Amino acid sequence: MSQAAGKDHAALAEKFNKDEERVNWHDRTLWWIRQKRDKAAWSLGEEWEPLREEASKIKAHTLSNLSEYLTEFEKNAQANGITVHWAADAKEHNQIVNSILTEHKIQQIVKSKSMLTEECHLNEYLKHQGIDVIDTDLGERIVQLADETPSHIVLPCIHWKKEEIGELFHRHLGSPEGVIDPAFLTNTARVHLREKFLTRRIAITGVNFAIAETGEFVVCTNEGNADMGAHLADVHIACMGIEKLIPKRKHLGVFLRLLARSATGQPITTYSSHFKKPKEGKQLHIILVDNGRSTQLGREDFRNSLKCIRCGACFNTCPVYRRSGGHSYHNAIAGPIGSILAPNLDMRQNKDLPFASTLCGSCSNVCPVKINIHEQLYQWRQVLTEEGHQPAAKTVAMRAMATTLSNPGLFKVAGKAGRWAMKLMPFMVSNQFNPWFKEREMPEPPKESFTEWYQKNRKKK
C-alpha cells in the first residue's frame, strides 16, 4: 500500500492486483456502497430523475454565466466581512495560504477534508515551509499517518482494513496492540485530535457549495471536524474551486439531497454548515482557485465535467476503479471523473487515464448532475491521439485496424490469416507482448468467420 510511485495506470493497477484478497474485498466494499446509493435514490421514487435533471441545468446555467456569478459572490462575501482572494493556479493558492499563516506567525494548523488542497499539494508545500498540518477527517488522518494520499474523494482510506488501522494507531497514537474495534479506534483518534482542535489558531476547510446571491458557503461533513476546527480557530481559511458556485440559496436543497444519497446512501450529510461572516474578533478568508478550470470551461466537449459535486458515485460503480484502487490514478481526483479532469491539467502526465475505463457508461448513469463521463473519456482518447500523446506503435496499429475494418476484402483476408495463426502458431498471439494474454487465455479460433457462417446458413433457407 505504498504511494503511487509511477505515472502509468496499468502498471500501478498491476501492483494493486498482486494482493487478490484485498482487490476482492475492495471491490465488494465499494459495490456495497453503490447498492446503498441505489436504495437511497429509489427511496425518492419518481422524484429522483427530475432532481438530477434540475441539478444538471442549474450547473449548466452557472457555468455559462460563471464570471457574473463569481463577481456577485465576491461582492456579497466582502459585504459580509469575508476576505476574498483569487488564485490562478495551485502555486498561487499555496502562497496565499502561507502568507496568511506568516502574517499570524502560525506554525501549526488543522485542516478538514478538501480535495482542492490535495489537488494543490498544500500539505507538501506547507511542510517545506515548516508548517505542521493535521488533517482532522478520520480517513484523511489515517492516510496522513501512513504517509499516503487519499485513494477516494469521499472515503480516503477505503483501501485500509481495520486490522491495519489498529496497527497504525498502535505505532503512532499509542493504542493497545491488537485492538481492531472500530469504536475504540475512533475514540483513540477523537482524543488525539481534540488537543489539536483546542490549540490550533488557524483552520482550513474546503467548500462544497458557495452561493452567489448571499456570499455564503457551505461545508458538508459527517464528523463535524470542519465545524470544530473553524469555530475554535481565530482564522478560518476556506479553499474553493471556482466551479463550486451556485446562483441562489434556494438551489442548495437540490444539491444537498443529491450529494449524500449519491456519496454514501445517506438522506443527508450529518453536518451541512453555513459560513456567512466571521465571528467578532475573528477572520474568515476564502480563496477562489482556477487551476485549469477556465481552460476546461473553454473546451466545449469537456465543460460538463465542471458540474461535478465530488460525491464519488462514479468511483463506487466503476469496475476498473473497484479492482485497480485509487492510487493507480496517480492524481488527487481518481476514478472516472478524475480521468476526464486530469488530462486538462497535464495531457502528457495523464495521457493514460482516459484509457482506464471499459466505457460501460455506469459512471454516467449514477452521476447526480448527469455528466456524460464515459463519452468524455472516449473523446479524450481521440484528443490525446490527435495531439500525439499516444505511443507511435499504438497509433500505427490503430490506423492499420481502421484500414482493415473499412475494407471488406482486406478484412476477410486478415480474418483468415488470424484464424490460421491462432490454430497453427498460437505462440504468435499467446505471448508476453499481448496485453490481453497476460490475464486471459486466448479463445479457440473459430472454424469460420461470421460472414461465412451467415452466407452458408442463409442459403439453407
Could you give the CA distance from residue 249 to residue 60 in angstroms, rounded to a whole number? 17
CA dihedral 165, 231, 126, 95 (to 10 degrees): 150
pTM of structure: 0.89
Give the pLDDT of residue 1: 42
CA–CA gap between residue 262 and residue 160 (Å, rounded): 22
Distances (CA, A) of 186 to 4, 168, 215: 27, 13, 35
Residue type, 200: R
Residue type at position 301? D
Residue in the structure block whose three cell numbers are 473553524 = 230
Q: State residue 459's pLDDT score.
A: 66
CB atoms under 10 Å from CB of 435, counted, come to: 9
SS3 content of the chain, % helix, strand, coil (to 5): 55, 10, 35
Residue whose grid cell is 488522518: 141
Going by C-alpha positions, the residue among 51, 27, 181, 196 that lies closest to residue 110 is: 196
366/370 Cα distance (integer angstroms): 8
For residues 412 and 28, give the distance between their C-alpha atoms in angstroms, rounded to a whole number: 43
Domain made up of 44-291: CATH architecture:
3-Layer(aba) Sandwich (3.40)
Q: Which amino acid is at 459?
A: K
Nearest one of 131, 136, 139 to 162, comparing CA atoms = 139
Instruction: Tell me how far CA of residue 157 lies from CA of 15, 27, 195, 198, 207, in angstroms.
Output: 18, 14, 23, 25, 21
What is the largest distance, in Å, between two alpha-carbon atoms of the chain?
91
**C-alpha to C-alpha distances, 215 to 158, 178, 301, nearest whole angstrom:** 34, 49, 30
What string of pLDDT tens digits covers the 461 residues of the chain?
Answer: 444 445 799 999 999 999 999 999 999 999 999 999 999 999 999 999 999 999 999 999 999 999 999 999 999 999 999 999 999 999 999 999 999 999 999 999 999 989 999 999 999 999 999 999 999 999 999 999 999 999 999 999 999 999 999 999 999 999 999 999 999 999 999 999 999 999 999 999 999 999 999 999 999 999 999 999 999 999 999 999 999 999 999 999 999 999 999 999 999 999 999 999 999 999 999 999 999 999 999 999 999 999 999 999 999 999 999 999 999 999 999 999 999 999 999 999 999 999 999 999 999 999 999 999 999 999 999 999 999 998 888 888 888 999 999 999 999 999 999 899 888 888 888 887 787 787 777 788 888 899 889 988 886 65
> How many H-runs (helices) and E-runs (strands) does the chain carry?
22, 10
Q: What is the pLDDT of residue 460?
A: 63
pLDDT for the residue 390: 86
- What pLDDT is stored for residue 457 in this prediction? 87
**Is 394 in contact with 435 (CB distance < 8 Å)?**
no
Chain position carrying cell 495531457 = 347
Closest to 151 measured CA to CA, from 32, 344, 22, 308? 22
Please give the pLDDT value at position 445. Answer: 87
End-to-end CA distance of the chain: 61
Helix (H) or strand (E) holding 122: helix 122-128
pLDDT of 439 reads: 74
3-state SS, one letter per residue, for 157-196: CCCCCHHHHHHHHHHHCCCCCCCCCHHHHHHHHHHHHHHH
The residue with cell 500539505 is: 123
The ranges assigned to domains in the chain are 44-291, 403-459
Q: Cα separation of 235 and 282, whole Å?
A: 6
The beta-strand segments (E) located in 96-159 are 108-111, 132-135
Rounded CA gap, 126 and 108, in Å? Answer: 10
Scored b (16 or more CB within 10 A) or e, 395-410 reads eeeeeeeeeeeeeeee
Judged on CB neighbours under 10 Å (0-12, 13-18, 19+), 437 is: middle
Structure confidence at residue 5 (pLDDT)? 46
Angstrom distance (rounded) from CA 270 to CA 368: 19
- Classified as helix, coil or strand, 200 is coil
Residue 243 is predicted with a pLDDT of: 97
